Chain A
Amino acid sequence: MIETFIWLLAYQFTGEVIARSLGWPVPGAVLGMLLLFITLCARRGVPHALRDNIPRLMTHMSLLFIPAGVGILAFWPMLSAHPLSLPILLVVATLSTFIITALVLQLGLWWQKRRRPV
């Protein structure tokens, strides 16, 4: 468990330092994820410390977003200025983004399969 956290925090730390020193608009944790992914590809395997503890951790990822969800309380006055149009807008925009992405990917996969039949 200790080793698991050392791995993860060290990659996040490295990501933060790189993003800040280069002035990139990417969060350090996202850069840390890419760095860890590259490391795993180079090692050709997942170390024990990361293999055993991570899957259980991921199923409870929702817990970590509850504080942010509560944050809506702090900005309620701003949101309630447009009580009807804002929720409609957010639902329409989010659903259309989802559908566009899913259809483009489905089309791409279909096209790839046709060109390169397995």
Chain B
Amino acid sequence: MSVLAWVQNAPLTGLLLTLAAYRAALALSRRYHGHPLANTVLMGAVMVIAVLLLLGMDFQQYMKGAGFIQFLLGPVTVALAIPLYNNLGRLRKSGLPILLAIVIGSAAGVVTAVCAGLLFDMPRTMVLSLAPRSATTPIAMGVADVLGGIPALAATFVIVTGIIGAICAKPLIQLLRIHDDVVLGVATGVAAHGIGTARVFQLSETAGAFAGLAMGLTGLFTAILAPILVHYLL
């Protein structure tokens, strides 16, 4: 019994479990030749959840170890500057259209969620928590708080949005018949923040670089635009 208690509470469990689930998800993803539905974040998280339920662990116990992995998001976000710098030529050439697309896309991210929320007749706090869902988690939580939504709920919407965007990025860009890694990257970064960025890095470094840029700027513009847009829409 004390062994089970140790397993449930040791940081080692969450850490090892996350790495093992990611490795298994990666193997599955390769097995299906990177099929969009074989998404590594989605499959990894599902495997971890299954094991947590089996071991009777809650989220807090899991995060004792998994927190170390989540912490690395900070330095890796900083590192996005490097692929972006490697694409400096393309950034200089297409800077203005890219900026314009990110501003309009950020606004669209807020407007589509709020309008759909109103259409489905959702409670006001739910709609306000949905508004910043295209931004990265810390920004979305802050914006939801300012708007009068629930930060924890907003964080969940951000993650689900990211997984949906990551799964749909490749099929959508093919459907639109666009063969430009820059467009793929920017659209994914705007619609699906870091999870989308992680996905397109598996496809192309250029797409990943521009997704990283779009992710950062979408966070910024969402923080500025969401309160204004929500004021006019609600």
Residues on A lying within 8 angstroms of B by beta carbon are 5, 8-9, 11-12, 15, 25-30, 32-34, 36-37, 40-41, 46, 50-51, 54-55, 57-75, 78-79, 82, 85-109, 111-112
Contact between A59 and B201, CB atoms less than 8 A apart: yes
B79 within 8 A of A: yes
Given contacts A62-B195, A85-B120, A97-B105, 17 further A-B contacts (CB under 8 A): A32-B74, A32-B78, A33-B78, A33-B80, A59-B201, A62-B22, A62-B39, A64-B76, A66-B66, A70-B66, A71-B156, A89-B130, A94-B191, A95-B191, A98-B191, A101-B191, A105-B182
Contact between A97 and B219, CB atoms less than 8 A apart: no
Q: Is the interface of B mostly helix, strand, loop or mixed?
A: helix
Shortest distance from the beta carbon of A40 to any chain B beta carbon, whole Å? 4
- Contact of B45 (CB < 8 Å), options: A46, A55, A72, A101: A72
Set of chain A residues within 8 Å of B97, measured between Cβ atoms: 104-105, 107-109, 111-112
Set of chain A residues within 8 Å of B190, measured between Cβ atoms: 97-98, 101
Q: CA A68 – CA B83 in complex, angstroms? A: 24
Asked if A103 meets B176 with Cβ closer than 8 Å, knowing A63-B22, A90-B160, the reply is yes
Q: CA A70 – CA B220 in complex, angstroms? A: 26
